Amino acid sequence: MMHEGDQAGAQAGFSPQKLVREAHMLHMRAQHLIDSMAPYTVQRWAATGVLLFLFLLRIVLAEGWYIVCYALFIYLLNLFLAFLTPKFDPALESDLAAQDVEEGEPGLPTSARAAASSGGLMSSVFHPTQQDGDQDEFRPFIRRLPEFKFWVSATQATVLSIFASFFEAFNIPVFWPVLVVYFMVLFVLTMRRQIQHMIQYKYLPFDMGRKARYGSS
């Protein structure tokens, strides 16, 4: 019976391999369509803003699915923080540099002083590779989360939230003012810490009429 069913499926033009191939082709076409939207930054974010507005309108009119709305905005906040954060965290670089100095890695001032005090050959051939003023050199700002990936993730999350708002299983009863207050407090505290990080390590995540950059503290 199984062989007869497989033969019938093959005669009808259906096979698992063909289904996988069609799904892969559909994914490639969708990815190509998404990639073609990369140059249209304003239009992309405007469309996402419209989707977000429709979702909020759905939440207000239906008076439900507040937990879905809260989860969406928490996710968007995390994406925004990754968008503002440099890919190579200067705090981590400073900690690694301080650790290397303490351990006396080769080429660092501690090892140079040790070589000079010992009177060895290293004292005559050691040349610092970085001057004091080089720490203020231009360093291009590379985001941890690029703008295009930020948009793709935010749009996908918004569409999924709209889709989830049509299922009663996600309409969990909750006192929504508590969620609003908690999100506002979390947003203020998180952005305050991010701004302090920006001031401490002297970087701007936006162009502001000049090249975005970041430097050491």
High-pLDDT (> 70) share of the chain, %: 65
Distances (CA, A) of 198 to 80, 93, 139, 202: 14, 15, 14, 6
Whether the CB-CB separation of 173 and 64 falls below 8 Å is answered with: no
Question: Using CA atoms, how far apart are residues 138 and 212, in angstroms rounded to an integer?
Answer: 9
Q: What is the pLDDT of residue 4?
A: 52
Question: Using CA atoms, how far apart are residues 165 and 55, in angstroms rounded to an integer?
Answer: 8
129 DSSP assignment:
S
Show Cβ contacts of residue 84 under 8 Å, excluding neighbours closer than 6 positions. 143, 194, 198, 205
Q: What is the pLDDT of residue 159?
A: 96
Q: What is the pLDDT of residue 132?
A: 44
- The domain limits of the chain are 37-86+144-201, 96-140
Q: What is the pLDDT of residue 190?
A: 93
Query: Which residues of the chain register pLDDT less than 50?
Result: 1-2, 5, 105-134, 216-217
